[in-house]
Amino acid sequence: MSAIDDIVARSRLQGGFSSQRKTFSLARKRAIRKMREFALADPYYFVLELIQAAVAQGASYINVRTEGETFVLSYTGGHFREEELAQLFDFLFAGKNRTDIGHVRELALGLNALLLFQPKRIVVESGDGTLRGTTRMVILKDAEHVEVGRSARALRGTFVRCDGLKRWHLRGKTSLEPLPGLPLEVAAIEERCLTAPIP
């Protein structure tokens, strides 16, 4: 099984935390909510921010899957550290000139925009291939609390899994033209990811 196949297979499992985890409230709630609404030109561009985060991290392969109310983006190459995920939404306030943390800022922008779709749950798992270096973050439906801790299993790569998306909720707020039988995330990728440096 290739590395990306392993990450894709893992993104389909329910998974869980090891005994080490922290629960915290998102800081700067009001500003974060405002950024959620106005940071991107189109709500479906969240997928572009997540792809940019992967590319900036050195991804060698990216897989995007949409089924009903589920969205999954997984990739090999690079990983997010526990401290980055634990303070993820603070990176929304980082300057664009900070290229050293650009990948984390892109992830924060993408996930914050994804919350407009009122998902039941967002899970991010990212690791360096070791149990100690694999972090799991869960954002629940209300987006007021985030759990970050060690994953129960080691992972080399990153995946973002979002369940319970209400895509219909934002149909009137997009200028994207739907492609026959495909979700609007695909239209955003087709329109904007013209020369991605990786498959």
pLDDT tens by residue, 42-67 = 888 999 999 999 999 989 899 999 98
In this prediction, residue 135 carries a pLDDT of 96
When pLDDT is cut at 50, 70 and 90, the band that residue 27 belongs to is very low
pLDDT (average), residues 79-101? 88
Between CA 175 and CA 177, with CA 176 as vertex, the angle to 5 degrees is 120
What is the structure's pLDDT at 71? Answer: 95
Identify which of 8-12, 25-29, 99-103, 139-143 has the greatest average pLDDT. Answer: 99-103
Instruction: Write down the pTM of the prediction.
Output: 0.80
In three-state secondary structure terms, 119 is: coil
Ranked by mean pLDDT, which of 151-155, 167-171, 182-186, 187-191 comes out on top?
A: 151-155
Q: Is the pLDDT of residue 38 over 70?
A: no
Does residue 167 carry a pLDDT above 90? no
Place of tokens 């099984």: 1
Distances (CA, A) of 119 to 62, 111, 133: 22, 11, 27
Mean pLDDT, the chain, whole residue set: 84
| 8 Å CB contact between 134 and 86 | no
Helices in the chain by DSSP H: which ranges?
3-11, 29-38, 46-56, 82-86, 102-114, 184-192
Report the distance separating Cα 165 and Cα 86, nearest Å. 23
The structure tokens listed for 24 are: 């915290």
Spatial separation of the C-alpha atoms in residues 117 and 139, rounded to whole Å? 13
What is the rounded distance in angstroms from the CA atom of residue 58 to the CA atom of residue 50? 13
Question: 33 versus 170: which is more confidently predicted?
Answer: 170
**Confidence band, pLDDT 50/70/90 cuts, at residue 74:** very high
Q: What is the DSSP-derived secondary structure letter of residue 142?
A: T
